[in-house]
Structure formats: structure tokens, C-alpha cells
Structure 1
Amino acid sequence: MKIAVVGTGYVGLVTGTCFAEVGIDVTCIDVNVKKIEDLRQGILPIYEPGLEEMVLRNVSKERLQFSTDLATAIKGCDAAFIAVGTPPGEDGSADLKYVLGVAREIGQHMDGYLVVVTKSTVPVGTANKVKQAVTEELQKRQSALQFDVASNPEFLKEGAAIEDFLKPDRIVIGVESEKAEEVMQRLYKPFLLNGHPIIFMDVPSAEMTKYAANSMLATKISFMNDIANLCEIMGADVNMVRRGIGSDTRIGNKFIYPGIGYGGSCFPKDVKALIKTASENGYQMQILQAVESVNENQKEVLFSKVKKHFKGELAGKTFALWGLSFKPKTDDMREAPSLVIIEKLLAEGAKVKAYDPVAIKEAQHMLGEKENVSYAKDEYEALIDADALLIVTEWPEFRSPNFSVIGKLLKNKVIIDGRNIYDAKEMQTLGFCYYGIGVQEVQPLTEMTN
């Protein structure tokens, strides 16, 4: 089979590469000439474990190509995947101009029956707009070519996208004809050999499934953060509460870890878009409005703990930040809590020394040149002469550090842990003043200062 994937961002690049990995002839297309030239040289625009090696392997096997020429790439294809961005507008709605622009271009250049697949996360009803855009272009050509539109939402976790695509929990596909279903069934057959389920449904239901899934996960996160904040007030330990409720199979133990709020390219955007879609149709998503509100407030919790500990006197102090990306195993900093924390510290006249295993370059791009922000070559360098350590992203290498070295490098043995990766009693025994999320702060058993 032969397919085109339009868009070489996170979703498009992973999708195209994984299809190539199972032997499908794939051309990934983008309007960004520099990005395509880089990809041809093996330089990827994103960090994702295992992706670079897979791209290089499939390019060498000539199963994966990169191009700026959609007109040529789409010829003879069985399916064309639209995987371009749908950035949120100021009102929270998804901007479909890139999706519909690609649809029009497909209508201008397709040369045979084609399944046009929306892989981008799009609101319910988008498939109809895509169909109309393609149809209008075919009419301009006076062409009778047939096509179908399908919805195939992605469920990729950043940091585990390759595994998620090759071994999916489920494959959701919305189709409007038996012919489109047959094409999509053949396309995904290599991924079904180990029993991974494929679920065919109508197109609107498939479009809704993506938003519902992300919104449910965001809801679990905000719910636990709300519970964590109450635990601190009431003297309970959210870690114990989490274990207690997570053992209930109706609830489960995933996405119930308290922290400093969700970020990334999906949850914030999709929650906003679903709220907006409901509003446009005369319905109010009361739970999701609360989810969004809790999340925005939670991003300020770590800063509030810093301010409380230092009695509001942050000017001239230096804070070490471990972690910048919104989650481990990615360099994605979109809507990252670290951005809120850094801006609030700087506004108080503090300095920031940050370290992240992969996201420093992206942080420099997003934050720009800021006088009081510096970046360390490793986690320990960030601690030198810092007044406290802030854990922002739970990278595995931060889980078992040398606490003796930490205590010697910090001016004050203060750790403010936004991800609850350390045990409060152990920190107390080691002489640290420790703050977590949803747990009671502990004072050191030994002197706090070195």
C-alpha cells in the first residue's frame, strides 16, 4: 500500500514512520522546506525515544520519504492522512485552516479513489467540512473521482509514542462506507496480528472519542490535584489516599498521581476545544470548566510553597529547577508548568538555574534571552549556591540522586517537590526541609542550613 501523511509534527512524523516500519510506502509532506531538508538528513524536529533510529532505518530502506510536493506525493495513494496542527484560537476553538487547506490541495491533485483521513485532533463535524472542501476542488476540475473521508484519532503518549502506535490499546476509525473501511482494515492489518482491537464506528463518534478520552484523563489529574490540596489542609497524605482508591478496579491507578498540573500539546487544547464545541451547541461542560480552572491554579502551587517558605522574600535568591518539559521523555514545553513557575519567580526578583535532560534548547526558544535564567550542564551544577531545589518534571534520573551532594551544594537544605518523587520521612531524616503535593511539610531532624 501507499500513503501520504501531510504534516511532520509529532503526530504526522510518528504515524508515517510507524506505517513505514511495517512495510507501507510512505511519503511525509510539509510546507516547511527547512524541516524537510533536515528530515532527509536524519535531523528530527522533535525528541521521541526510538524515533530517530526508526526514521533512519526506513529512509535507508526507501519505505519512508520526505517531500514538500503534495501534488506528486499523493499520486497513486490509497489514503492521505491529514496530520497538521489545529492550534487553539483565543476563544478555545480549534483552528481548522490548516486542515481545510490540506483538504483543498488534496482535491486539486488526487488522481484516483482515495480515503482522506483526519489524524489531527479535530472537533465533531470537521469531516463534513473536509469532505466539502475536497468536493469543491474536484468540481472545479470537473472531476468525477470518488473519495471517502475517515476519522482516525491518535492516542499517542509523548515519550512512549512508538510503542503506542505499534502496540495500540485500541485503533479507533470512523468511516462512512464499506470501501473506506476495507482500505483502513488493510492498512492497519499489521498492527492487529497480536490481538490489538480495531473499533469501527461512525465518523462523528470517532471525532468525539478523541476529545472524550483526553478530557477524561485531564479530569482524573485535576480531581487528584484538588484532593491533594484538601489533604494538605486536613492533615491527610494524598499518597496513601491514592493507593487506597487506586486499588478499586473501577477507578484504577493510572492518572491519579497529584502534581503541579498537566501541560503539553493535547490536554489543555482539547479540553478547551470540547468546552467551546459544547458552548457553540448550547451546552455547558461544567465538569471540564472546573478541570481547566483547577489545572491553571495547580501550576502556581509550587511557587506558592516557595513563597511561603521564604516568607515572601524571593528577591536576589536563586532557585534550582530540575525538569522543564511538561513530562519526562519529551522536549515538549507547550503549556508546561515550568513556564509559569519561572515567570513567577522572575517577577519576584529571583534567579533560576534550570536543568532538563532534553528540553533546554526548547526552553531557550520559548523563554528567549532572560537575564536571570541560566541553564546547567547537569542536575548537580544547577544546585551550586541555590537557595532551594524545585522538582518540576519527574525524569527517572532525578528519582535516586545523591542527597549528600545535594545538601552540600545547596545554600539551604530545602526541596520543594512538585511530583512527590521523594519520601517525606526520608527527607526529614536526611536533614532536609521538604514540601510535597498533598502531604504535610516536614522540618529536618538536623540543622536546615549547611
Structure 2
Amino acid sequence: MAQKIAVIGTGYVGLTTGACLSHLGHDVVCVDVDAAKVDALNQGEIPILEAGLDELVQEGRTSGQLRFVVGAAPAVADAEFVYLCVPTPQGGDGSADLSYIRDAAAEIGPHLPPESIVINKSTVPVGSTRVVEQALGRSDVHVVSNPEFLREGSAVHDFLHPDRVVIGADDQSAAIRVAGLYLGLAAPLQVTDPASAETIKYASNAFLATKISFVNAIAAVCEAVGADVNDVVLGMGYDKRIGDAFLRPGPGWGGSCFPKDSHALVKIAEDAGYDFDLLKGVITVNDQQFTRVADKVEQAAGGSVDGVTIAVWGLTFKARTDDLRDSPSLEIVGRLVERGAVVRAYDPAVDAGSDDARLHGIEVCGDPYAACDGASVLAILTEWDEFKWLDLDKVAEVMAAKRVVDGRNLMDRNPLVRRGFVLEGIGR
């Protein structure tokens, strides 16, 4: 049965949630404060790179089941369900900033129909369901936690083919109503209390970050003892208790979730009287990994990058997205620039000459070969598949020296070695 749904916020989570819910047959209106963005969305212009999202937005607009508007009040007036998908940026002390959540709840509170359900989809600290309830100021409206588990680059797939759907509610009937929105999705449904649902989200991201930091630390051990991390990880992954997911060494973890959520969980634990030393160590190892990769580039350059041209392939925090937030690549490039390097970079999702402030000090080129022109070292920092199929003869021709630091262990070693390249990977 189609339900009337309002989604507050049209970022990665809000836009994907709205488009996918309309695809499931619901009548969805997405709300944003940015009039220009709303106009663009109503013209079918998608502001983010996300596989399959364009098609779902177009489908929803064509069917009339997906609309975009400015102003939350009229959008929620007849909505049975309202999703809060607004930012929760990291505060100065590591905690999540709930001001956007409070403001959104206060704005919609007076306009909600009785017995409607406000669904908190934003990643928020434990206890935030109560914060939303207070901001709404309504005793006749239910608040439910329904955390998202979307990976950028595969968010549409993750929404429509989830590993689980988690609903945190004190009212059983409200939980059942929210569960009904996901009918047709073949996934386990977990109904729990709001605090547990909120903790599940943070605990999941913290555990995945832990796996990545662990394998990066193991990669450092492999380099020290002469082992091959790829073989080590393969042997570990066969153990069903461990599995091979997120056991791939690289330049470190980043993006819009892991850094923010890891620091927030440390702060949540601290406020509750627990010193989360394990997670602090995970964060420290990740920061060390950025420096380790920068050191590898410096060593490949002969011991110093001061005045040396370094080519970089990959700027986004992962492939198949255009998101630069907390990108490991930019963390590493920043360290190289601080050491005096001249960085020329290419990324399929970043426009040449971009004026994005996060790219300050980097010359962004229009193709991968231009980035390599005159470079003494090539650093591969994002795992775009297209890098594997480039013309290595052309790369060798334009570079000043044939040195590659593969921060993703992406490239096949043999074709590089045959062309005279010196290749340095992670843990190999």
C-alpha cells in the first residue's frame, strides 16, 4: 500500500531514500532549503555521482510519485511518515552536532498530522530520539530510529538489497507501520529500542573501520618480515569467523561516515564513563597510515619530495563517487604538499581546474597522462578500475622516472616491471 512520505534533506542519504521509497511505490516529497538545488532536481539534474540514482529519480518524476520542494511545513502537512535526513557534522570535541536535527524537528513539529511518524535516518548519538521528541513538542506523534547502512557508490543497491533493516521504537505499532514501508525487500528485520538502534549504526561503522586499520597494520608487519599481505589476507578470509570483507590494505579509511562516526562513538563512550581505548587506537593507526603512504612516496622520490613533481591518480575517498569529504588521498597529498612536493592529479569524477577549496595546492589535470607528465613518482590513491587499463607505455614515456607507489594494490605488477617501473605497494 502506497504511503505519503516526506523526506527532509536531499543529500546522499535523503536523495537515495526518497528515490528508492518512490521506486517501492510510495508517494514521496523531498524537501531542501536550497531553492537552486530543488529546481535542478525537478529538472532531473542529480548533484551527486551515485550509480542508478539518475534512473530512479527520473522514474519517480515521470510517475509523479517523487517531487522536490522548498519548505518543510507544507510538505509534512499530510505526510504519514517524515524522514529526517539532515547533516550531523562532527563538532570540535568529536561529538555529533545535532543543531540541524533540532531545527528540522522544531520546524515541522507544529505542522505534523496526529499519529504521524518521524523517522530519524541521520546518524545520531544515542539518545537522539528523545532529542527529536523534545524538539517536536508533540505528544501525539511517534519518533522512530531507522539507521541507514548505505555505501557511497552503491547506495541504491544497498537500499533495495539491504543486509538488514533496523527499527528502533518504544511503540510497537509505530515499529510495525515503519516496517510496512519496506515490504518487498528481502532482508532480516530487527525491531529494538531506539538506543540500541542508534548504537548499531555507530558500532557497525566502528567495527568496519577497525578491520581496515587492522589489515593496514598487518600490511606494515608484512613489509617488515617479507610476507605478502595479499596471501595473508586470503588465508585469513577463508576463516568463516573472520571473512574477507574490508580486509584489503590501502591508504587508510575516510569519507563522510567512518571518521565522523568513529570520533562520535569515542565521545559517546566518554560521556557515559567508558574510555574506548581500542577505537582510539583504530583512529591513530588510520592517521599513521596516511603518513606511511606519504613516506613511501618520499622514499620512492629518493628521500625528499621538495620541489619534486608527484603524479596522483585518484582524489575521491573511494571509486564510483565524486565525494572528496575526508578523502585519504587528500590527506596523503596534503602531507606531500607540506613537504614541498608539486602535485599534479587526475580523478575521473573531479573536473580539471576545479576551484574546490579542498584541492588547494593541487593541479587537477583533465587526463591521467597529463598528470604524469614530468613526474618522478606516480601515486595511485583511489581504486578506479579504469586505471588498470591505461596505456603503460605512454605513462612510461611521459614520466621523468618510472616509479609507482600503488596505495590500493590495484595494478598488475608484471606489466609495470616489464616496462622498467619500480613498484611499491602496501604490505608487499
Normalising by the residue count of structure 2, what TM-score does the alignment of the two structures yield? 0.96
Alignment of 1:386-401 (within 5 A): 386-401=375-390
Task: Tell whether 2:309 aligns with 1:318.
Answer: yes
How far off is 1:427 after superposition? 3.3
Q: Which runs of 5+ in 2 are unaligned?
A: none
Q: Counterpart in 2 of 1:222?
A: 213
Q: Counterpart in 1 of 2:179?
A: 185
Q: Counterpart in 2 of 1:142?
A: none
AA of the residue aligned to 2:293: L
How far off is 1:422 after superposition? 2.3
Task: Tell whether 2:381 aligns with 1:381.
Answer: no
Corresponding residue SS for 2:158: helix
How far off is 1:346 after superposition? 2.0
Residues 388, 416 of structure 1: 8 Å contact kept: yes
Alignment of 1:13-412 (within 5 A): 13-135=15-137, 138=138, 146-191=140-185, 195-360=186-351, 364-367=355-358, 370=361, 373-412=362-401
How far off is 1:369 after superposition? 5.0
Residues 333, 359 of structure 1: 8 Å contact kept: no
Q: Counterpart in 2 of 1:444?
A: none
User: Alpha-carbon deviations, 1:67-123, whole Å to 9, x = none?
Assistant: 112111102211101000000001100000111111112212112211111000011
Residues 301, 377 of structure 2: 8 Å contact kept: no
The 1:296/1:363 distance shift into structure 2, 3 A limit, reads farther
How far off is 1:425 after superposition? 5.1
Q: Distance in 2 between matches of 1:314 and 1:71?
A: 55
The 1:182/1:367 distance shift into structure 2, 3 A limit, reads closer
Matched positions, count: 426
The 1:146/1:361 distance shift into structure 2, 3 A limit, reads farther
Corresponding residue SS for 2:389: coil
Corresponding residue SS for 2:266: helix
User: Alpha-carbon deviations, 1:201-255, whole Å to 9, x = none?
Assistant: 1111111000011011000000000111111111111111111101111100110
AA of the residue aligned to 1:75: A
Q: Could you tell me which of 396, 399, 406 is aligned with 1:417? A: 406
Q: Distance in 2 between matches of 1:360 and 1:74?
A: 37
User: Alpha-carbon deviations, 1:261-304, whole Å to 9, x = none?
Assistant: 00100000000000000000110111100000001111122210
* RMSD of Structure 2 on Structure 1 (CA): 1.6
Q: Distance in 1 between matches of 2:30 and 2:12?
A: 12
User: Alpha-carbon deviations, 1:389-408, whole Å to 9, x = none?
Assistant: 11010101112332222211
Corresponding residue SS for 1:386: coil
Q: Counterpart in 2 of 1:443?
A: none
How far off is 1:188 after superposition? 1.1
AA of the residue aligned to 1:199: Q
How far off is 1:362 after superposition? 10
How far off is 1:132 after superposition? 1.5
The 1:360/1:261 distance shift into structure 2, 3 A limit, reads farther
Corresponding residue SS for 2:261: helix
User: Alpha-carbon deviations, 1:404-438, whole Å to 9, x = none?
Assistant: 22211211111100001124455333311110011
Corresponding residue SS for 1:299: helix
